[in-house]
Structure 1
C-alpha cells in the first residue's frame, strides 16, 4: 500500500472529510477506506470525534485500539456531550463542576488501569480550598467529604457508561469502596425562629416562606409556581429534581373548608396588582432566586440583631443558622410520616424520616 499523501496524522485507510455547512460552520468527519462484499471501494463512516473514530478503525483493522483512545478523557468527553445535557439544569451545573475535579486527576488515566485503591485515595485526599473572608478571617482547607462522595458517584456512572460504550470490560472500580459518612443537616426552624424572621420580611418573602412551608416543595419549584398551576382546586407541581407530579388540594375534602394553602393563594389572587407568578413583588415583578436570597438574608439579619438587642443570644444564634431551604424539613417535621412523604414526593419514606423529619418522636414520660 502506497504512503498517504494527505491526513498523515491518521492511521492507514482512515480518511478525513471536511465540509463547510450552510450555516458557515466547519464540519469534520472520519471514514474507513474499505471494501464491500463485492470488492468495491466503500467509505465506512467512523463518526466526527477523532478518538471514537480511531476505536472503530481499530475494530475494522483487527488491531489494538490506539493508547490515546483508552483513557478516561474519552469517556468524560462523551458523557459531557451526550448524557449531561439531558439532565435537569441544576444537575447539569453541578455535574460540570464535579467533572472538572475528576478531570484534574483522572483525565489521562488509562481506563483499565484504575483500581478501587485509586478511588479510595481520591476520596481521602479530596480537600476544600483554603480561603480568606472579607473580614480577613482565614478558613483553612478541610476534608471535602460530601464533595468527594458526589464526585465519585458521578465517576461511577461515567464508568458504567464507558462499559456500555465498549471502552472497557473491567469491573467498575467504585464497587465496594465505602463512601464518606455524611451527617444530614439537622437544623429545625421552630416557630420562634420562623416567626422572628417572617415578621421582618417583605410581603413577597412572607408569601414565599408560607408557600414553601404549606406546599412542602423545594425552593426552585416554589419560585416556578404560576396561576396556571392551580387546576381543579389543586396546586399542581412537577418537581424539577425528580419530575414527580403532585396535586396539592386547596380545599379539605372531609370538611369542605379551605386549607391554609388555599387561603394563602386566595389572598395572593385578591391583590390589586396581579402577576402570572404566584410569588411576585407588590408591583408585579417575578420573585427571582437572587431577589429571594437578598430578601431572606436581610430579614434574617434584622431578626437576629433585634433578638440580640433584647439579650437572647441563644435564639439569635439559631436565627443565623436558619436557611430558606429549612421550610421543607419544617413542613415534614410537623406532619405524620406518611403524609409528609406524599407531600414531599418521596417514594422511599426512609428518606423523609432520616433527612427531613428533624423533630424526635413524641413519647409519654415514665409517669
Structure 2
C-alpha cells in the first residue's frame, strides 16, 4: 500500500506492481489532483518558494499548490524534493523521467499503467477475488484525479485543487463519495 496515498485496493494494487516512474506519476496525480497530461509535463522548475505551480493544459487555469505548511514540508513537497534530488544527474528538468533521463511520454505512461494494472488483476484473480480484479480492470489512471477530490473533506478545497471555478462541477463530476451520515444509534 502506498505510503502517501489513502486509497482503495483498485488503486493500491496497481501501485504495488508499478515501477518507480509510475509510482511517482500516481503520487503526483493524487497529491496535485491534476490530469495525466498535466502530470507528465511537471518540471522541477515549476516551484516558487513554498508553492508548486501548475498551468492546466485543458483550461489554462493556473494554480499554486502548497508544498509546505507551518508544520513543515507536506507530502507534495517531500515528493518533489525526492524526485528532484534523484534526477539531479540527468539534464532533464521534467520530474517524471526514466532511468536514462528521458521524460515520460503519454505512451510510456499508458504502457506502464497497463502492465501494472494487468499484474494487479492477475494477482487478484490468483487470490480468488474476481470482483476486485474487475474493479482493478475498470480503474484508469485518470480516475486518480476524482479519487483525490473525493478524499478532500472541504468541497471548496477540492475545487481549488482541481482548478474549478465552480464547486458544482467538482460535486457533480469528481466527488465520487456520498455524504457522511451517522447511524440512528
- Fold match by TM threshold 0.5: yes
2:180 maps to what in 1?
Answer: 362
The answer to whether the Cα contact below 8 Å between 2:44 and 2:80 also exists between their aligned partners in 1 is no
How much does 1:283 deviate?
2.1
2:64 maps to 247
1:90-148 residue CA offsets vs partner (Å, 9 max, x unmatched): xxxxxxxxxxxxxxxxxxxxxxxxxxxxxxxxxxxxxxxxxxxxxxxxxxxxxxxxxxx
Tell me, yes or no, if structure 1 residue 258 matches structure 2 residue 76: no
Could you say which residue in structure 2 is the equivalent of 1:337? 155
Unaligned runs of 5+ in 2: 1-5
Runs of 4 or more, structure 1, over 6 Å off, are: none
Q: Give the TM-score normalised by the residue count of structure 2.
A: 0.92
Aligned equivalents of 1:232, 1:294: Cα separation in 2: 34
Matched, 1:351 2:166: no
Shift of 1:190: 4.4
CA distance in 1, matches of 2:144, 2:132: 18
What is the rounded CA distance, in whole Å, between the counterparts of 1:283 and 1:212 in structure 2? 22
Alignment of 1:102-113 (within 5 A): none
Matched, 1:287 2:107: no
Q: CA RMSD in A?
A: 1.3
2:55–2:62 Cα contact (<8 Å) kept: yes
Matches within 5 A, 1:201-350: 201-252=18-69, 254-255=70-71, 257-271=72-86, 273-274=89-90, 275-335=92-152, 336-350=154-168
Q: Deviations over 1:261-280 (max 9, x none)?
A: 11111110121643310111
**Cα distance in structure 1, aligned partners of 2:7 and 2:66:** 25
CA contact (8 A) 2:29 2:145 kept: yes
Q: Which runs of 5+ in 1 are unaligned?
A: 1-188
The higher radius of gyration belongs to 1
Moved more, 343-352 or 231-240: 231-240
Q: Partner residue of 2:3? A: none
- How many angstroms apart in 1 are the aligned matches of 2:80 and 2:183? 41
Structure-1-length-normalised TM-score: 0.47
3-state secondary structure, aligned to 1:276:
coil
Give the Cα–Cα distance (whole angstroms) in 2 for the partners of residues 312 and 267 of structure 1: 35
- Once residues 315 and 229 of structure 1 are traced to their aligned partners in structure 2, the CA distance between those partners, rounded to angstroms, is 37
